[in-house]
Each structure stands twice: as structure tokens, then as C-alpha cells.
Structure 1
């Protein structure tokens, strides 16, 4: 999955698969996680959030099924 780099102190890059509703996040510590069943609107809101780390903690972490990739 292609991820785009973002300017965040905790998140390095973000990718999204529209067909699978799969959000992939690479953190600055180089770990990569996939979040399933994420609506595209949540992905767009994450990209546009003033603080992507805060948005992730409030709206994504512990909300969607997760698996570590790396």
C-alpha cells in the first residue's frame, strides 16, 4: 500500500485502501499498523487534522480492529 509522508511528531506516513477500508499508519519509531473497517471520511479527517497524533489517539486507536505489520 502506498503511504504518504505527513508532518507529525508521532506519525511518519499514512495510507488508505478505499476498496478494503484499510488504514495503514507508519509511526516515527518505524512500526506499521493496519486498521480495518475505517471509513474513508475518518482517513480524510486524519490527513486534515491540525494534530494527526491527537486525532489518531482520540478517533482511531482502540476503536478499529488492528494488526501490526512490522
Structure 2
């Protein structure tokens, strides 16, 4: 899913089986977050500000790692 209106997030994809959230930032970084409920991804998609939602509900709430 692309986020053309976000100044922070380029795109995000969710895998409901693995419960992983892959986020690509406009600055070029890519991270995978683990054990993320699908409702969190749905809320990210619906948020008026994807960057603010990410910062307050995902970044420090779920374990993640930078991908190459």
C-alpha cells in the first residue's frame, strides 16, 4: 500500500499469516515489524497522518529490524 500523502512513509505491506508489517520510508530505510495485529495495519492505512500513527502506535510498540 502506497502512502503518497505521507511525508514519512512511502509504503507499507502487511502479511496476516506471519503478522509482519514491512514499512519503507521516504528517506530510503526499510523495516520489518513483528507480531503486529492486522487491526494496527488497518488503522495505519486509515490514519489521517500515517507518520504520526506510526510514531505513536508502531515504532516503539513492536519489535522490528532494518532490512537490506
What TM-score do the two structures reach when normalised by structure 1? 0.92
The number of residues matched between the two structures is 67
| TM-score of the pair, normalised by structure 2 | 0.95
Alignment RMSD, CA only? 0.6
State the partner residue of 1:60. 58
Moved over 6 A (4+): none
Which of these residues, 22, 29, 35, is aligned with residue 37 of structure 1? Answer: 35
Gaps of 5+ in 2: none
- 1:7-65 deviation digits (Å, cap 9, x = unpaired): 21000001000001000000001110000000000000000000000000000011101
Question: Which position in structure 2 is the counterpart of 1:26?
Answer: 24
Provide structure 1 residue ranges, at least 5 long, that are not aligned to the other structure.
none
Q: How many Å separate the matches in 2 of 1:57 and 1:29?
A: 15
